[in-house]
Amino acid sequence: MVSFKEIEVGFEIPTYIKGPIKREQLVEYAKASGDGNPIHTNEQIAVMAGLKGVIAHGLLDMAYMIQAIVNWLGKDGELKSIDVQFRGMVRPGDMVHSKAKVTKKYEENGKKFLDLEIWQEALTPIATISSSLTIDKIEPPPDGTLKLYEAAYRGWLKDGQNIVLEQKKADNKIEYTFYGKQNSIIGTAKVELFK
């Protein structure tokens, strides 16, 4: 339960994860939303527009951000407003992490409100190394297999972009995946809590 009494400034809502983003999903979103801009669905046009391939609709990213908050609130509150800036492009293959933190807690006309700082991280996979051995620096271990993703050869990463490493156990091997990380959305939101 989300209750006004228990939530303090600085509280972070659970990270809401979507992805990997698929191209078919962008086609489906284009139809459902009515946004027919071909930079989201047509590789050739997206490349011609200088985007190095299709990108997700900013409003789809925003939809995930809204879901993150609404899902967290459940029946205990309501999202009153959301204000986002689109900062980075989300690509096919990306994992999208929507996050929010309480910045202010207050009452107004007998109602309880929280202000949130919101942000969404897009994690673009670059390479996965699977190995039974421990990774040493960035060198693939000798028994490792290397899988490259589109970002590795299509120039999707920006100079100086943050790279993060995720470790996952798969069978008796360890999978190390490198992701380019950036904020796709930053902004603020206001929610009302009922209890």
Residues that bind other proteins (CB under 8 A): 18, 25, 28-29, 31-35, 49, 58-60, 62-64, 66-67, 70-71, 78-86, 187
Amino acid (1-letter code) at residue 128: T
Min dist. Cβ of residue 4 to other proteins (A) = 19
Of the pair 161, 188, the CB lying nearest other proteins is at 188
* Short-list 179, 54, 182, CA closest to 126: 179
Q: Which is nearer to other proteins, 129 or 193 (CB)?
A: 193
For the bound state, the minimum distance from the C-beta of residue 19 to other proteins, rounded and expressed in Å, comes to 10
Nearer to other proteins, 12 or 28 (CB): 28
- Least Å distance, CB 75 to other proteins, is 10
Q: Is 170 helix (H, G, I), strand (E, B) or coil?
A: strand
CB of 139 to other proteins, least distance (A): 38
As measured in angstroms, the least distance from the Cβ of 42 to other proteins is 13
Nearer to other proteins, 74 or 142 (CB): 74
Strands 95-108 and 16-18: antiparallel
CA distances 21 to 47, 97, 114, 173, Å, are 18, 12, 31, 25
Which one, 29 or 149, has the nearer CB to other proteins?
29
